[in-house]
A and B are shown apart, each in its own frame.
Chain A
């Protein structure tokens, strides 16, 4: 298994540009989520999904959209990038509600100029 994969690893955007961060997992996990990590702030939950077709907001959802059309993929969309969205983004998955171990991807480092 490849586990949780994320693309791209690095991205630079200009203010106002849009882009999609890709996340995929090949473990047939029900739960997937997106976090952002900023210096000194740990990880903050952006959006999560409890299964295909179901998404919900986390702690810091503003400026981001998600969809979950398949079990495997959970893309994160920035519709109009802002410098405040400069961060490292991690995607994670877990098998189901009673699973305790969450698997994280390698991260995407995004810079918005």
Chain B
């Protein structure tokens, strides 16, 4: 699976959009981009995933560049409860065991 690079930490004001970047310059054509988050002392939680088109669900939007070498997770109106570590993961559908490889993630702090 391709490696990802994320900033270690970011701050965001409550009510504002939080834009979390991820670089995955070695991504392969069959690899998806996944985002999970982990709130303190809890297990990780799935947010969204995409292949090459932009995606939106009730939690967030995912913007993937045309060359697929980077992506941005957007939380449109961040709340204090969105404070968490956000993981960007790249994974192929047919990888061994179909399991996720987590890196260090971005620690997002939403401030009042």
| Residues of chain A at the chain B interface (Cβ within 8 Å) | 4, 31, 33, 35, 40-45, 48, 50, 56, 58-59, 90, 92, 94, 97-98, 100-107
Known contacts A42-B87, A42-B104, A106-B42; A48 and B93 CB within 8 A of each other: no
Question: Given A44, A48, A98, which contacts B102 in the complex, CB threshold below 8 Å?
Answer: A44
Question: What is the CB-to-nearest-CB distance from B93 to chain A, in angstroms, rounded to a whole number?
Answer: 7
Instruction: Sort chain B's interface into a size bin.
Output: 20 to 34
Whether B43 pairs with A90 at a CB distance below 8 angstroms is yes
Residue among B34, B43, B44 with the most chain A CB within 10 A? B43
| Residues of chain B at the chain A interface (Cβ within 8 Å) | 32, 34, 36, 41-46, 49, 87, 93, 96-105
Question: Besides A100-B46, A106-B42, 9 other CB < 8 A contacts?
Answer: A42-B104, A58-B99, A90-B44, A92-B44, A97-B93, A100-B49, A102-B100, A103-B46, A105-B43
